[in-house]
Amino acid sequence: MRVLSTTDVLDVAPGGSGEIPIDVVNTGAVIDSVSARVIGLPAEHVTHHPAVLPLFPDASGRLVVRLDLPGSFPAGTHQLTVEVAGQAPGSVLAHHDLDLVVASRPALSVTAVPSTVRGRRHVLSDVVVRNTGNLPLDVVLRATDSDRSVQCALTPSALRVEPGAVGHCVAEIRGPRHLVGAEIDRPLRVTGTAGELEESVPLVYRQRPTFTRGLLTALVLLAIVGTWAAIFLFGLFRVLGADPLTKTAPASFFAAADAAAGAGGAAPAGTLARDGVLPAGVGGSLTGTVVGATDGEGVGRITVDALRRGRDGLVLVGSAATQADGVYEVAGLFPGTYLLRFSAEGFDTLWYPAAPDEAGARAVTAEAQGRTEALDAALTGHPGQIAGTVDVGDVTAPVTTTVVARAVWPPEGEEITAETVAAADGTYTLADLPAPGSYELTFTAEGYAPTTITERITGGQQRFAPHVRLGAGAGQISGTVTDGSTPIGGVTVTTTVGEAEVTVGTPTVGQVGAFLIPGLPTPGTYVLAFEMDGYTPATVVVDLAAGESRTDLAVNLRGGAGTVTGKVTGAGADGGGLGGVTVTAGGAQTSVEATTLTSGDVGAFTLAGLPPGPYTLTFSLPGYQSVSVPVDLTHGSPAPVRVTLRPALGRIDGVVTSGRTGLVGVEVQATNGRQVWTTTTTTRPATGGQPARPGYYLFADLPPGTYTVSVAQGGRVVATALVPVSAGKTVPQDLGLGG
């Protein structure tokens, strides 16, 4: 994988966004799906489109990486790396480094919670300081009183707040004495200062009097009532003072005690017994079980109401809810007759024992200190549904998954089922299921092992079942390797399963040339490599559906004893190997192609199976000048070939100045008459002993030719230059704006 980008420095304002165009070249030998991520920036701030870029071998495409920064993102220069990765086995990561420059934006917010506080002489309020900018702030707080009648202390009076963070301090307010009268509003203002920033918030101290008007009024009324009570008692004593005092209690006072258990004395007349049925006034209970009319199982969360008939109609006396097993108890009822009503969302309302309304209801009796049991009911639920998702893994072709729901309660010989087919994204819905009831859900798909789960729904419920993943059966790949007509034994066949490499060979006796790779996880895509000395290696890509066995694979290896090896390096001081270079051997008899290694011995290549004769080796790589080299295999393999490729692209860089000052943030354009390149000046950091360069710009990867480089301001060009660019060269060009 190889990437190119014209963006080395990206300026993004706090709370703004910026884009990084990345040109990607698939240097691999298989179709790859490419995605990107940014190292050095949280993933929630990064997106790229397209989400996945499919590329054929040697094809190129563009990914645009978008950065969305929050307003509190720290200011300064941040070093980022865009990492581009493919999903194909053996794909090599590619990186592009750049600087993210974020401007400073200090901001401050001060609030009081609450903004109005009530109290007498001493109150507290919370002052909240928010740093809404992207620089740390040292905030100093002070409180001012317009009429200078209160004292306000802030604790702490100075605090440091990081970007996006919140700081708190306590405002302690003390006011003068205020004994009687109305509440007094005493305004204050809390001000926060951080450098040149200043924010303030109003705060109102509403002081209450020590003795309120209501309290004084109550004391006056209490004095009046006390005076009248004294006069009334004085009159009673004057009238009734001569009557003797007596103390008696009625016999019903002893209802909770057994007078007969006393010291042998006779019970007072009218005393009630401790045991037995008591008259009205002592509570009773109504109990029973509520089940579903479909499966006969207990239903929870059903509301049971006990109602009695009054002069104005039915009166609700008590209610209860059923437990998970359907059992309920309505307790604390006065002895008498009641109607029972059963109701819940998703169920038809029922009146005991099985009436749809009160007209057909039958009354039940609650006895004093008794339990009326077996008041059972069977409720009919509204139809429900079960929805969920089934996962069949990563597949290259659609998989049809059948979902069957079978009720578990019907007796033998009866069956209630529902069936549907999952959508392409794996979602399914089973609607209009009789409820309440339990269902056994079975998931089947060709090539997958069946999976079963059990779900229960109540009346009218829309239930979401757990995520189900189907396990696919193992597959295999088999076939024959030939040279076009005759099977070949001793061929090494290699593929990768997960992180492990699997290798088999073709037999030299019996079934010569046959191979078999069993037990492969499915669905999946496998890359098979066929190698043998004296033959050109071959690669075959095989897609296996779930549980599929591919048995008809026919592979032809091109024979020949000639082999050409070598290495391709890049021009420059390092002279490092170049990976992904296409090497083509063209001759009168045949044409063979290979790609230089991108890992290990980077830049190395091997062309095997070439018949004797002269050939021309052509080396090509996007962005570099192609090179052709003649080789002769008439008398065997030649010595290793070493080739150096030179860049086919050039660069322009320089500084935009006004007087002797470098200008940052100025837009610079370069055009060759067919295409326009645009960049913005920035400050290049000091490197290699060289000082920092403000106003620096760079145009990289320019095709050779003549370019017009210009700076425009206010709709007119203020500086321009004509710059010739040659392959592999960097042309310096400074632009002065005068002044």
Judgement on whether residues 327 and 346 belong to the same structural domain of the protein? yes
Helix, strand, coil percentages in the chain from 3-state DSSP, rounded to 5: 5, 55, 40
Q: Across the chain, what does the average pLDDT equal?
A: 85
- How does pLDDT run across 386-439, given as a tens digit for each residue? 999 998 887 777 888 999 999 988 877 788 899 999 998 899 999 999 999 999
Residue 698 lies in a domain: yes
- And the tokens for 673? 């008459």
- How does pLDDT run across 159-174, given as a tens digit for each residue? 898 888 899 999 888 8
Judgement on whether residues 616 and 668 belong to the same structural domain of the protein? no
State which of 207, 240, 264 marks the end of a domain. Answer: 207
Rounded to an integer, what distance in angstroms lies between the CA atom of residue 617 and that of residue 195?
69
Q: What is the pLDDT of residue 405?
A: 94
Instruction: Report the pLDDT averaged over residues 347-359.
Output: 92
Residue 457 lies in a domain: yes
Q: What is the pLDDT of residue 254?
A: 45
Judgement on whether residues 641 and 705 belong to the same structural domain of the protein? no
State which of 591, 610, 645 marks the end of a domain. Answer: 645
CATH for 167: 2.60.40.2310
Instruction: Report the pLDDT averaged over residues 493-499.
Output: 90
Cβ distance 293 to 328 under 8 Å?
A: no
CATH for 442: 2.60.40.1120
Q: Which residue has the higher pLDDT, 252 or 127?
A: 127
Instruction: Report the pLDDT averaged over residues 127-149.
Output: 86
Judgement on whether residues 388 and 456 belong to the same structural domain of the protein? yes
Judgement on whether residues 336 and 394 belong to the same structural domain of the protein? no
Q: What is the pLDDT of residue 735?
A: 92
Judgement on whether residues 7 and 97 belong to the same structural domain of the protein? yes
Judgement on whether residues 21 and 96 belong to the same structural domain of the protein? yes
Residue 234 lies in a domain: no
* DSSP letter (8 states) at residue 535: B
Strands (DSSP E) contained in 353-450 are 364-366, 371-372, 377-379, 384-391, 401-407, 417-421, 427-433, 437-445
Question: Closest Cα to residue 435, out of 421, 465, 456, 405?
Answer: 456
- For 14-42, give one letter per residue: b (16+ CB within 10 A) or e: beeebebebbbbbbbbbbbebebebeebe
Query: In the predicted model, is pLDDT for residue 560 greater than 70?
Result: no
**Distance in Å from the first CA to the final CA of the chain:** 47
Residue 270 lies in a domain: no
CATH for 482: 2.60.40.10
Residue 218 lies in a domain: no
Instruction: Report the pLDDT averaged over residues 46-75.
Output: 88
The phi-psi region of residue 36 (left if phi > 0; otherwise alpha if psi is between -120 and 50; otherwise beta) is beta
State which of 187, 207, 227 marks the end of a domain. Answer: 207
Of the listed ranges 128-142, 344-358, 454-468, 599-613, the least confidently predicted one is 599-613
Cβ distance 102 to 41 under 8 Å?
A: no
Judgement on whether residues 536 and 580 belong to the same structural domain of the protein? no
* DSSP letter (8 states) at residue 355: B
Query: In the predicted model, is pLDDT for residue 246 greater than 70?
Result: no
Judgement on whether residues 580 and 662 belong to the same structural domain of the protein? no
Of the listed ranges 247-256, 539-548, 666-675, the least confidently predicted one is 247-256
Neighbours of 345 (CB within 10 A): 11
Residue 605 lies in a domain: yes
For residue 601, give its domain range: 562-645
Rounded to an integer, what distance in angstroms lies between the CA atom of residue 407 and that of residue 435?
10
**Type of residue found at 117:** V
Rounded to an integer, what distance in angstroms lies between the CA atom of residue 506 and that of residue 538?
14
Strands 336-343 and 303-310: antiparallel
Query: In the predicted model, is pLDDT for residue 4 greater than 60?
Result: yes
Q: What is the pLDDT of residue 561?
A: 57
Domain count, the chain: 7
Could you give phi then psi for residue 410, rounded to 5 degrees? -60, 145
Residue 427 lies in a domain: yes
Q: Which residue has the higher pLDDT, 267 or 318?
A: 318
Query: In the predicted model, is pLDDT for residue 261 greater than 80?
Result: no
Residue 249 lies in a domain: no
Judgement on whether residues 185 and 117 belong to the same structural domain of the protein? yes
Instruction: Report the pLDDT averaged over residues 146-152.
Output: 80
Query: In the predicted model, is pLDDT for residue 320 greater than 70?
Result: yes
Q: What is the pLDDT of residue 383?
A: 94
Instruction: Report the pLDDT averaged over residues 560-567.
Output: 79
Query: In the predicted model, is pLDDT for residue 705 greater than 80?
Result: yes
**Helices (H), ranges, 386-480:** none
Q: State percent of the chain over pLDDT 70.
A: 92
Q: What is the pLDDT of residue 260?
A: 39
**Type of residue found at 198:** E
Q: What is the pLDDT of residue 589?
A: 57
| Confidence bin at 667 (pLDDT 50/70/90) | very high
Could you give phi then psi for residue 458, rounded to 5 degrees? -100, 180
Angle at 566 between CA 561 and CA 571, to 5 degrees: 160
Query: In the predicted model, is pLDDT for residue 255 greater than 50?
Result: no
Judgement on whether residues 392 and 319 belong to the same structural domain of the protein? no
Q: What is the pLDDT of residue 157?
A: 85
* DSSP letter (8 states) at residue 472: B
Judgement on whether residues 6 and 97 belong to the same structural domain of the protein? yes
